[in-house]
Structure formats: structure tokens, C-alpha cells
Amino acid sequence: MNIRGPLSFSEVDLQSISELISIIDCSLYQKSTDMLHQATDSNAALLFEIDKVKQQRRLLAASSTERFDEDIGAHLDTLITYQLEHQPHQYYLIPDQVHQRYPHATYLVNHQIEGYLGTLVNHTASGDRIYLFISLTQSPITEPAMLIQWHRLVSQVVMQYRRYQHQTNRTDVLLNRLNYEVSHDDLTNLMNRSFLADTLERLVSASQSQFSFSLGMLDINDFKYINDLYGNYIGDQVLRFVAHAISACVQDEQLTFRIAGDEFAFITFDPQPDMVCQEILTRIRAGYQDVAHHIRISASIGIARHKEESNNADQLLLNASLALKNSKKLCQPDICCYDTHLSEEYHRKNQVIDALRDALSKDLDEPQELYAVLQPIVRQHQLNWNYFEVLCRWQSPVLGDVSPTEFIAAAEQSGLIIEFGYRVIELACLAKQQIEQSLGQKIRLSINCSAYELNQQHDYIQTLKERITHYGFYPGEFTIEITETALLSQRQVTRNILSNLRDAGFKVALDDFGTGYSSLNYIHNYPIDCIKIDASFIKNMLCNDTSEKVVSLIIQLANQLGVDLVAEGVEEEQSLARLYEMGCTQIQGYLFSAPLQPEMVIHQLLGQKESN
């Protein structure tokens, strides 16, 4: 029997201790028992992990002078149980005669185990899981202090590893959670817009000479209506339903994305991406259904394909969004593939917006690109014109003549419409001032007001009054024209705005009358001074019985309400005669005059004076 006692720390190679401390994987358990066994000259050095709650024990590592052919844990069960129940402090020492105290423990008896030292170390802060280090010696333990020192060293190294492992695991969990949160959409669990951008960058770089793919962008039609009607909770369920429909058709979860409120995207390598789109739309058209609801849903999809020599990721995103916008604009079909003409339209629109912004930035004393033209509104038998609608024209040094339809749409889309409206007021006042000073007679002007300006009612009315007062004019010299579609929402607010305009002294005219879907039903509720019949009815009046009946009905309505009436777009003598016959006596259109610049209006009115 070897009776060498435990080695001192100085007798053990410091390099071995250093190597033990540097281990950061589970091999540390075995290395620890190896060192403990070697340094203490034990029969066996053991390391158990004990779960006190589940009352389970697991041998993590064992080092012995000979190979274990039996379950050493079972042989030590009584001894370990006694230590846990009656010696719960850190160390439990039996210096000699262990095999005699536990004669039923076969291993202890067979190996004539004399000494036992068990060291308990809490594995967790709650103490429900612990480590138990055991040294079994075949000689009595005569130097327990040194043996305990070795147990303390090894247990501290193992616990340091456990703390490191805990921190590493926690860090991994936090990193995984953070990675999930920064890459996923919380509501639908699809990937988010940021991840889409990164994915496109990777795919575009990887696919330069390997493969092509398609990017689809999907938008739920009329989702705001669904949200407003059913509430945000059901709206969220609809979003999840659509996300599930996309995921069911695009198998790779990292290729499906929610990129905005009701806007989604997906990437497919299918050579026929339109078939994938049709499958998605078919699922969506089935509608969202729960116990209390069955909501019909439709969606629009824009597709942009990336081929070997195609554009970068940003351009691909832009192309898909342009295709989606075109799909929603056309309504049918639901799927639109990108075409180069969409980019041409997009760049043209941006050019118009940039040029319009520059035009509006010029002071009024500078040469103007935007200018006012006036079209007369002529009463039957009237010899001298004194009432004009103010229209705006644009001669851009960069773009040439830009149509009103194009630049007004650009102003609305870019948020320049308010500034544009104020500029038109200034141009109208300057034109009125020029004409009146040249002719020595007063004229009345009609100025268009957009729905956007109505939404800024206080600022608009205040600015309107300030500008016309600045030029020495009065509200009664102006009529404010609003389009019929501006009346279709927020009716009480609109009614208040129109009342405020009239209270300030302005006349109010309703432009493009007859184009709204319920105009005849609610027009009597608004404070209106004049109705302007839309030009489309006038142009079709002679060849379409329905148009003529609509015009006749509007004339009767105006008479019943006691408001003025103007027919727009009159270009033929026959139309003029028929309107006079039906009782409409105020006419606007090319039959009398095209819109004229102030100089030409002056010339025209001077000619009328001479003729009279």
C-alpha cells in the first residue's frame, strides 16, 4: 500500500496547474479529477453533479489507479446520502476505517478504502444543484489540510469554468435574441426590411455569374378600411394571415419579409415567379376567418427580376416597388412585372418635382417659370367680359412646357401643393392688378383650391385674405373653386371651411360637378354659391342622351337651390344653343376663348370696348 501523502503545490508542475486553469470546455472535469488523483495519491478522485430537487446524481468524471468495472456511484450511495443529509457543510472528512464503517459498500471493502474527503460546492445560486468532489485513499488521511487545499483549488477552477460557461450561454442567448429582434418582424415573425436589404446585397453579389432570382413586393388592398372597420386587433390577425399565406408558398423562411405596415416582400428562385404570386394570391383571396369574422382580402404584387448583369440591390427594390405601385394604380391585373417604362415615369416624376421646387423657390420679382392664364366666364348677351377663372401654366427651362395635369399631380405627391397654391394666389393678384390698372375697370377672378389646402383651412383662409389685402383687393372680388371630390370626406369639417370662406366675403363654387358618386344627394347641405358642370358632360351632351339628361338635371337642381351655374368646356355653337335653351346662361370654354395671359386679356378687352 502506497502511503505517500498529498503533494504540496510547489511539488506539482505549475505548468500543469496553468493548463488546467486555461481549459474552457467540458474536458476540464476529467482533467480536474486527474490532477486531484495524482496530487493526493488517492485510490480514486470523483466528481458528481447532484440535483437535490430531482434527487438525481450524475458522475461527470473519475480518475483511479484502475479501471472501474462497476457503478462506483451506487457503492458510495449510502456515504454520499449521509453527507448530504447530516454533513451539509462544505467538507466532510473520514480520516480512516471507511471500509469498516460501510461494510456493505463492496468497492470500499474490496479496495480497503481508509480515508474519505467529500467537498460540496453549489452549482447554482439557489443551491438546488451542487458539485461533489470525492477523494478515496487506501491509507489514513494524516494531512487533511493539504488534501482540503487541493480540493479547494480544483473546485474553484471548476466553478470558474461554470461561471464562464454560464456567462457564455447567457451571452449566446442574448445575442440570439438580439439577432432575432433586429432581423425579424415581431408581429408576423417574418424577416424585416433591414434583413431584406442585407439578403438582397448577398444574393446580388453571389449571383453575378451563377443564378437569377425575383423579388416580389405585396400590398394588401384597402387595409386601412379593414383596420378602421374591425379594429387593430383583427387588423393584426389579417397581417398574420397574409404572412402565413406567403410563408406557405415560399418555403425558405429567410426569404419572406414584412417591410412596412401592410406591405410584404418575398424572394423566389422559381423560373416562373408569376406562378408563385398566383398561389399566394389564391391563398389570400380565401380570406381571414375566425369564429366571428370572415373577411375577404385582396392584394397587389409587383415583381422585379434579377439576372446576371442586372442592377444592384437598391435598384431591384425600387423596380419592385414601381411595379407594385403600377399594379395598384391599374387595379387589374393583381400582378405587375417591372418594365423599363416604369423607371422612365419615375425619373420623369422626380425631374418634374425637382424643377417645380426650383420654380417655386424664385421670388416674385425674378423671371417666373409659372405664370397665370385667365379664361373668361361669359354670361348670355354679355358684351364685355369681367369674370375669369385663373389657371396656371408652366414653361420650364429644363423640361419645356409641362402640362397642368402632370405638375399638379407632382405637387400633390411631393407635398408642394400648399406652396403651389399660395403662388397661384400671388400670380392671380398680379394678373388682376395688371389688367385693372391697364383698363381702369374691375374684374372678378375664380381661383382653384385643392383638398390639401382645405385641410389647412386656417392657414389657407388667413393667407388668402392677407395676399388679396396686400394688393388692395376685397374678398368679394374672388370666387374660390373647390373640386367635388374634396367634399366626399369629413363633411362637417368641409362645411365649416366653406362657411368660413363665405363669412370672410368670398364666393364658393363647386368645380367638376357631376363626377362625384353622391353629389346630387348631399349638395344641398353645403354653403355653395355656384355649380360648375363638368366639361365631360358638355362634350358628350349632343351625342349621348344620358349626358344631356345629367346636364338638364344639374340645371334644374341649381335653379331649385338658387345658386349660379356655369357650364365648362363649351366648344361648339350647338352645345351653346342647347345650354341656353335648357336655362344655363353662364358659359366657359374655347368657344369664347382659350385661357389667355394677362397681356392678351387686356388686348381682348380693349377690342371689346372699341367694338362697343
Residue 308 carries which side chain, given as an amino acid letter?
Answer: E
Q: How far is 336 from 476, CA to CA, in rounded Å? A: 51
Task: Name the catalytic one among 369, 389, 484, 568.
Answer: 568
Q: How far is 531 from 512, CA to CA, in rounded Å? A: 8
Is 355 within the bounds of a domain?
no
Count up the domains in the chain and report the number.
3
Do 379 and 327 fall within a single domain? no
The predicted pLDDT at position 173 comes to 85
CATH of the domain at 87: 3.30.450.40
The predicted pLDDT at position 446 comes to 96
Is 2 within the bounds of a domain?
no
How much is the average pLDDT of 57-76?
81
Give the residue from 139, 173, 207 where a domain finishes: 173
Do 158 and 202 fall within a single domain? no
Do 494 and 523 fall within a single domain? yes
H or E, element range at 588? strand 586-588
Do 138 and 213 fall within a single domain? no
Higher pLDDT, 146 or 67: 146
Is 354 within the bounds of a domain?
no
Is 187 within the bounds of a domain?
no
Does pLDDT of 434 surpass 90? yes
How much is the average pLDDT of 356-381?
93
Cell numbers at 168, concatenated? 457564455
> β-strands 299-306, 370-379: how paired?
unpaired
Do 151 and 212 fall within a single domain? no
Cis check: omega of the bond before 333, within 30 degrees of 0? yes
Positive or negative, the CA dihedral 173, 174, 175, 176 is positive
Do 536 and 584 fall within a single domain? yes
Is 7 within the bounds of a domain?
no
How much is the average pLDDT of 414-424?
92
Higher pLDDT, 359 or 83: 359
Q: How far is 148 from 90, CA to CA, in rounded Å? A: 10
589: left (phi over 0), alpha (psi -120 to 50) or beta: left
**453: β partners:** none
Number of CB atoms found within 10 A of residue 562's CB: 7
70: confidence class by pLDDT, cuts 50, 70, 90: low
Cell numbers at 314, concatenated? 437598391
Cell numbers at 53, concatenated? 430537487
Residue 349: Cβ-neighbour burial (10 angstroms; 0-12, 13-18, 19+): middle
How much is the average pLDDT of 31-37?
88
2: confidence class by pLDDT, cuts 50, 70, 90: very low
1: confidence class by pLDDT, cuts 50, 70, 90: very low
How much is the average pLDDT of 237-265?
94
Terminal-residue alpha carbon distance, the chain: 144
Does pLDDT of 4 surpass 60? no
Cell numbers at 452, concatenated? 390639401
Is 9 within the bounds of a domain?
no
- Could you tell me which of 313, 303, 306 has the C-alpha nearest to residue 212? 306
The predicted pLDDT at position 340 comes to 81
DSSP, collapsed to helix, strand or coil, labels residue 143 as coil
pLDDT over 90 percentage in the chain? 47
Length of the chain: 612
What are the φ/ψ torsions at residue 596 (nearest 5 degrees)?
-120, 150
Question: What pTM was estimated for this model as a whole?
Answer: 0.63
Do 296 and 248 fall within a single domain? yes
- Could you tell me which of 136, 144, 155 has the C-alpha nearest to residue 45? 136
The predicted pLDDT at position 306 comes to 86
Q: How far is 334 from 277, CA to CA, in rounded Å? A: 9
What are the φ/ψ torsions at residue 501 (nearest 5 degrees)?
-65, -45
Angle at which helices 14-22 and 27-40 pack, to 10 degrees? 160
The predicted pLDDT at position 373 comes to 96
Q: How far is 199 from 177, CA to CA, in rounded Å? A: 19
Cell numbers at 463, concatenated? 393667407
The predicted pLDDT at position 520 comes to 57
324: left (phi over 0), alpha (psi -120 to 50) or beta: alpha
Does pLDDT of 504 surpass 80? yes
Q: How far is 386 from 444, CA to CA, in rounded Å? A: 6
CATH of the domain at 425: 3.20.20.450
Q: How far is 455 from 107, CA to CA, in rounded Å? A: 92
CA dihedral 96, 102, 103, 107 (to 10 degrees): -80
521: confidence class by pLDDT, cuts 50, 70, 90: low
Q: Please give the residue range of the domain that contains residue 49.
A: 14-173
> 193-230 pLDDT, tens per residue?
999 999 998 888 875 556 789 999 999 999 999 998 99
The predicted pLDDT at position 344 comes to 86
Distances (CA, A) of 445 to 299, 429, 512, 605: 45, 9, 17, 15
Q: How far is 451 from 460, CA to CA, in rounded Å? A: 11
Cell numbers at 239, concatenated? 397581417
The rounded mean pLDDT for the chain is 87
> β-strands 213-220, 299-306: how paired?
antiparallel
Active-site residue flag, 85? no
Q: Do 444 and 477 touch, CB atoms closer than 8 A? A: yes
Do 334 and 282 fall within a single domain? yes
The predicted pLDDT at position 6 comes to 61
Pick from 157-171, 366-380, 458-472 the range whose average pLDDT is largest: 366-380
Is 352 within the bounds of a domain?
no
Do 273 and 388 fall within a single domain? no
Is 333 within the bounds of a domain?
yes
Cell numbers at 530, concatenated? 355656384
Does pLDDT of 380 surpass 90? yes
- Could you tell me which of 283, 275, 284 has the C-alpha nearest to residue 335? 275
Q: How far is 327 from 303, CA to CA, in rounded Å? A: 10
Q: Do 562 and 568 touch, CB atoms closer than 8 A? A: no
Kindly provide the b/e burial profile for residues 300-312, where b requires at least 16 CB atoms within 10 angstroms of the residue's own CB. Answer: bbbbbbbeeebee
What are the φ/ψ torsions at residue 209 (nearest 5 degrees)?
-135, 20
Give the residue from 296, 321, 338 where a domain finishes: 338
Do 523 and 561 fall within a single domain? yes
Does pLDDT of 329 surpass 50? yes
The predicted pLDDT at position 182 comes to 84
Give the residue from 118, 139, 173 where a domain finishes: 173
Do 36 and 125 fall within a single domain? yes
DSSP, collapsed to helix, strand or coil, labels residue 68 as coil
Higher pLDDT, 542 or 236: 236
Do 109 and 230 fall within a single domain? no
Q: How far is 512 from 583, CA to CA, in rounded Å? A: 19
CATH of the domain at 227: 3.30.70.270
